[in-house]
Structure 1
């Protein structure tokens, strides 16, 4: 329905433009037409040609606009309400400036074509000023309100980067990496109140998630969507002190490098599961919270000689070995346990082996 209305409106604009073009051509060629019927016919024909042309072009334009509106909806859904409100105020300011700028144009006219050209120019100015107002306000949500405060003298820089002196150090600040949002376990950690302080998700992390969610690869696309869903769940919980930070470093291309720079400037801890980012942060003296390290630290601690009950579920790699698992996923290798598959048995721990893949416990059946 909306598509049809849009195309009809576009066709009307085309018809008006067609009549203006016909008048312009007749004035340039300097042809005098005495017959009013012939003049009306030429104007109608020009209007029809341009109307049909604009009608068919509007289909392509509407499709592109619809795609852009869908992207805009996703973009707005990821933004905090305060940023959206400030962006709307910037849009209103832009429209007011456009009104003041186009007011002299409404009184201008050209011979033959009238003021139709100035009307189209006014529409372009309205759209341009409105988008400019929205962009400036939404990009600087922390600085934009300060423009109306006489007490503070804030100078907006040409980049979106924020110097270290402008950011206060906060040891309770935790900046979240893309890998943690994709992993999803942070929701459970938050719900059991194991985190304190403010959680920060920079906009450049959300942009990386958006790129992953738009990937042609099915697996990457699902991972990106899961990360965005985790962000939505965190934002829904009003008990969580969450901030979507607009701080960016345009001179730095890599997201991991931006995270490290942000942590250095703010004194924040980095919440990540990325092994390489973890190592680089350790070298730079930045505190890292790694969910995988937390999970490994919470696994069952056993010593040789302790007893445990285990279910043997499959055959091991070595001869006559059986394999079972603890509730936390730790592998238990039962010596001479191949014939005990499918049984719950009491065992004694003989040794514990820590590998890069995790912990392995070797046991021997008591019976």
Structure 2
């Protein structure tokens, strides 16, 4: 910041010199030099005193400008540039016509240009989506890419899936998802902080298994992360890898391809048929009197008739029915009387 302070002092010297020259026009010549030097010293010292506050002000505005610049979408820049070009071309044509007027002046030409630029740039930015092809910083299109959302990253099962080789193509992590995980890991709430740190750890494990592509793309005009994921998937042609049911439904309405590890795990569970036997530990009571409820290793709920009396103990049961619901699979069973 030394350069900033020196620049302020130089500005103070210039202002003091200008003030001294103005006083020299109306004052006695013999005091002009002394007044000029005094004003220059006063300007330099004033700048030195005001430098700390000026630095804070400049840093605050520099940070705001940096934040605005980082969030600036390439399509917005392309749209604003296109609008300015149209405004300048029309301004040249109108200026040629206005030169014949008796009250024409260069101020009129500047005003016309400013009005046209404000109108066309504003209109173009509001319709920035139509200028995606003009942007020089387009997201990369590569077939077979998979966009990861924060939900599927924190879930962690994607690591095992990557180890088995079932995930082909690029694994894409949007920069705004990375920032979301970082924000969670710094959160004051312990649960959110744990989720954020787990998500970052999963990304570290994935990076050791296969290359990750961080897509530095964002659109500040989109209000939610889900909207940004859908837009990015549409622009890149990549599939969306998520366990968020609501996001999956909305994305399907947009015609996107969705991959859900949870749905895949449910589909790959072994199908138990009526008459099959298994062993399950009864952990709690069911909705009906005497019913016991247990869970298989994959989380499948098993409802056992008259199983509550074996609560906390492993029970040998026979499958009676296998029901698939929108929240998962449920197995209804009864105690196996033939087992001890």
TM-score over 0.5 for the pair: yes
Q: 2:136, 2:192 → 1: CA distance?
A: 29
1:12 equivalent in structure 2: 6
Question: Per-residue deviation at 1:311?
Answer: 0.9
Question: Per-residue deviation at 1:319?
Answer: 1.1
Question: Per-residue deviation at 1:329?
Answer: 0.8
Whether the 8 Å CA contact 1:181–1:231 is kept in 2: the answer is yes
2:48 equivalent in structure 1: 51
> Paired residue for 1:27, among 6, 21, 24?
21
2:273 equivalent in structure 1: 303
1:326 equivalent in structure 2: 296
RMSD: 4.2
2:134 is paired with a residue whose SS is: coil
User: Counterparts of 1:344-359 in structure 2 under 5 Å?
Assistant: 344-359=314-329
Q: 1:283, 1:226 → 2: CA distance?
A: 32
What TM-score results when the alignment is normalised by the length of structure 1? 0.58
Deviations 1:310-336 (A, max 9, x none): 111112222111111111111111211
Question: Per-residue deviation at 1:242?
Answer: 3.6
Deviations 1:192-238 (A, max 9, x none): 3222233334xxx423553686589969975994597268426732x
1:291 equivalent in structure 2: 261
Deviations 1:221-267 (A, max 9, x none): 75994597268426732x5244345678999983244245236xx4x
Q: 1:65, 1:280 → 2: CA distance?
A: 38
- Over 3 Å counting, the alpha-carbon distance change for 1:24 and 1:184 in structure 2 is farther
> Paired residue for 1:206, among 175, 200, 221?
175
User: Counterparts of 1:242-281 in structure 2 under 5 Å?
Assistant: 242-245=212-215, 254-262=227-235, 266=237, 268-279=238-249
1:174 equivalent in structure 2: 146
1:314 equivalent in structure 2: 284
Deviations 1:39-70 (A, max 9, x none): 5443322211111112222134446657988x
Whether the 8 Å CA contact 2:17–2:36 is kept in 1: the answer is no
User: Counterparts of 1:53-202 in structure 2 under 5 Å?
Assistant: 53-62=50-59, 158-160=134-136, 170=143, 172-201=144-173
Whether the 8 Å CA contact 1:272–1:288 is kept in 2: the answer is yes
1:233 equivalent in structure 2: 204
- Over 3 Å counting, the alpha-carbon distance change for 1:225 and 1:158 in structure 2 is farther
Question: Per-residue deviation at 1:299?
Answer: 2.4
The unaligned stretches of length 5 or more in structure 1 are: 1-5, 76-155
Q: 2:36, 2:255 → 1: CA distance?
A: 82
Q: 1:222, 1:294 → 2: CA distance?
A: 28
Q: 2:291, 2:15 → 1: CA distance?
A: 89
Whether the 8 Å CA contact 2:243–2:261 is kept in 1: the answer is yes
Q: 2:297, 2:30 → 1: CA distance?
A: 94
1:366 equivalent in structure 2: 336
Whether the 8 Å CA contact 1:269–1:288 is kept in 2: the answer is yes
The unaligned stretches of length 5 or more in structure 2 are: 71-131
1:34 is paired with a residue whose SS is: helix
